[in-house]
Amino acid sequence: MNSDTLQGISAPAPASVVPFRSSGSEWWRSAVIYQIYPRSFADGMGDDGLGDLIGITERMPALVELGVDAIWLSPFYTSPQKDAGYDVADYCDVDPIFGTLADFDALQARAHELGLKLIVDLVPNHSSDQHAWFQAALVSPAGSPERDRYMFSEGTGTDGELPPNNWESVFGGPAWSRLTNADGTAGQWYLHLFDPSQPDLNWQNPWVREKFRDILRFWLDRGVDGFRVDVAHGLIKAAGLPDYTPPADGGSMGGSGSLGLEPEIGAHAGTEPSTPPYWAQDGVHEIYRDWHSVLEEYEGDRVLCAEAWVEPLTTLARWVRPDEMHQAFNFSYLETPWSGPTMRAVINSSLTAFTGVGAPSTWVLSNHDVVRHASRLALTAENPQGHGIGPRSPGQPERALGLRRARAATTLMLALPGSAYVYQGEELGLPEVIDLPDDARQDPTWFRTNGERYGRDGCRVPLPWEADSPSYGFGDSGKSWLPQPADWAPYARDCQRGVVGSTLELYRALLAERAAADLGLGDIEWLTGYPDAVVAFRNGSVTVIANTGAAAVALPAGEIIVASEAFDTRLLPGDTSVWIRS
């Protein structure tokens, strides 16, 4: 971006100076963490159209060039892949489709050599039904210690023919399945908050707790820098497993739908959302205190990051109290619409809530479970988290508008103090793939709802690396486990590398300036005097102005160091964000 000194317009006076800086200087407080979804990053073994660990190791220099600090690897463990690896059959081994433990060691060594931290995914709420623990439970009688490792229960009704309660699976349909005994008679029911192939573990059982301490140590001994903890709000279920009917507008993973803001701003003004008996139970916290103490046994700053769809933010902050996890994904931020007042409110609420417990806020706009933000921000109707979008979805996004807003939203996000997560492909501006052929879809959500919900395949399509290679350079076989759109060549990394104005170069500039100005460890100071649609603040030496509206806005004086779009007046156009050196 060419620099430009603006004259005649004075910077608005600071309105509020809130001490938002989190205490401490551990790497994870300010890190930009890049999520790799191994199936879709790079097919290094080049045989099957599925990404793998060798592919990640080979392509890792691209992440150094991008400028991120750490990698989070989604699951690569032994798994029948019923939920793309979030159904783990062996927590301490690598699935052959992804490689071997030696490939993992090589990947980790390469990351550390390149100065990148490495976080792996831990999936404690449920295992695969193919896990040896569940297989042992199946051949053991009701009431046995093997069954007590999972959530088995007798049915209700006259003959146990009805499930123990009315809970629904996140992927659709009932959350209980019934076993058939060896003699052909109907047996007990087991709980699966997700797919039937993902039975929930019984976290009241000390045996389960002990096994997971061992799993943590297995990976910590190998040298990982931490864990992203899957469904970290689900491990403990309310005593008596009471019936529960979620609000129609609630997220499938929990959360009130109120964006985590203060009650008067949220959609559920004045009401306290009830806590589902399977999410956010108090009992989860002692588990995370225990894990915190396991991580403390190790050298270096190891991190636990919670995937907890919990609102409001003041409640989520309980996951990151000083002796629990270190970070929690800020899904309230992810779910916030592109509008000045709601963006300001969620940023303020996040910083207040997390600073209140001495933790950094995190920021995230995309991941492997949600509609990519380059499409989501242009949707004209709300599409619930996890349901995905497809050709029949309401509010079809306009591609150019979505990308423009995504670039502006990322420019705002990467200026915020705390830790930011970037999902593979967003640095290329990838849109959600809306028109995947139905017979290519693989998300269990699609099958469990008989095609009513599209699910998450549209954000998981393998990455384009080279415009002119088969499968856009994803792998030598030219195959791709989900079909890549025919018009993706312009998104390929090699088409964007070194090209001024490309999304890749925008991300590189943002990450370089963020590091140079140490924005991740900064503080923000709100600036006033702008229209409501504008989010304006100062973080150290950088003034950030994000225009979520349509009307252009006069900029304060100073050198523009990064802009989400090129413009040649001194007015900031709509759906554009800038960083100005003050």
Q: Mind telling me the catalytic residues? A: 230, 297
Nearest CB to ligand GLC, comparing residues 74 and 484 = 74
Cβ(196)–Cβ(129) under 8 Å? yes
Q: How far is the CB of 437 from ligand GLC (least distance, A)?
A: 22
Among 43, 83, 103, 457, binds ligand GLC (CB under 6 A): 83
Among 103, 129, 311, 369, binds ligand GLC (CB under 6 A): 369
Q: What is the dihedral of CA 186, 187, 188, 191, to 10 degrees?
A: -60
CA distance 459 to 371: 6
Residue 231 makes contact with ligand GLC by CB under 6 A: yes
Residue 129 makes contact with ligand GLC by CB under 6 A: no
Helix (H) or strand (E) holding 527: strand 525-527
How many residues touch ligand GLC under the rule CB under 6 A: the total is 9
Q: Which residue is at the shortest CB distance from ligand GLC? A: 86
Nearest CB to ligand GLC, comparing residues 123 and 346 = 123
Strands 525-527 and 534-539: antiparallel
- List C-alpha distances in Å: 185 to 129, 252, 310, 379: 20, 33, 40, 50
Which are the contacts of 299, defined by CB distance < 8 A and separation ≥ 6?
none
CA distance 81 to 530: 50
Q: From the CB of residue 48, how many other CB atoms can be counted at a distance below 10 Å? A: 14
DSSP secondary structure string for all residues of 315-376: HHGGGGSTTS-SEE--HHHHT--S-HHHHHHHHHHHHHHHHTTT---EEES--TTS--HHHH
Q: How far is the CB of 68 from ligand GLC (least distance, A)?
A: 20
Among 123, 305, 308, 313, binds ligand GLC (CB under 6 A): 123
Nearest CB to ligand GLC, comparing residues 97 and 562 = 97
Residue 432 makes contact with ligand GLC by CB under 6 A: no
Residue 457 makes contact with ligand GLC by CB under 6 A: no
Residue 227 makes contact with ligand GLC by CB under 6 A: no
Alpha-helical segments (H) within 357-442: 373-376, 399-413
Site for ligand GLC in 288-317 (CB under 6 A): 307
Q: How far is the CB of 456 from ligand GLC (least distance, A)?
A: 7
Residue 335 makes contact with ligand GLC by CB under 6 A: no
Residue 71 makes contact with ligand GLC by CB under 6 A: no
Q: What share of the chain is helix, strand, coil (3-state, %, to 5)?
A: 30, 15, 55
Q: How far is the CB of 164 from ligand GLC (least distance, A)?
A: 21
Q: How far is the CB of 38 from ligand GLC (least distance, A)?
A: 13
Q: Which two tokens stand for residue 360?
A: 């950094």
Nearest CB to ligand GLC, comparing residues 79 and 543 = 79
Residue 194 makes contact with ligand GLC by CB under 6 A: yes
Cβ(516)–Cβ(67) under 8 Å? no
Strands 559-563 and 576-581: antiparallel
Nearest CB to ligand GLC, comparing residues 255 and 520 = 255
Nearest CB to ligand GLC, comparing residues 229 and 463 = 229
Q: How far is the CB of 369 from ligand GLC (least distance, A)?
A: 5
Residue 86 makes contact with ligand GLC by CB under 6 A: yes
* Burial (CB count <10 Å: 0-12, 13-18, 19+), residue 79: buried
- Phi first, then psi: what are they for 519, rounded to 5°? -65, -30
Q: How far is the CB of 275 from ligand GLC (least distance, A)?
A: 18
Q: How far is the CB of 74 from ligand GLC (least distance, A)?
A: 8
Strands of the sheet containing 117-122, edge to edge, are: 327-328, 303-306, 226-229, 117-122, 70-73, 32-36, 419-423, 362-364
Among 95, 146, 225, 230, binds ligand GLC (CB under 6 A): 230
Rg (CA), the chain: 24
Nearest CB to ligand GLC, comparing residues 194 and 454 = 194
Nearest CB to ligand GLC, comparing residues 364 and 416 = 364
| Contacts with ligand GLC, residue ranges (CB under 6 A) | 83, 86, 123, 194, 230-231, 307, 368-369
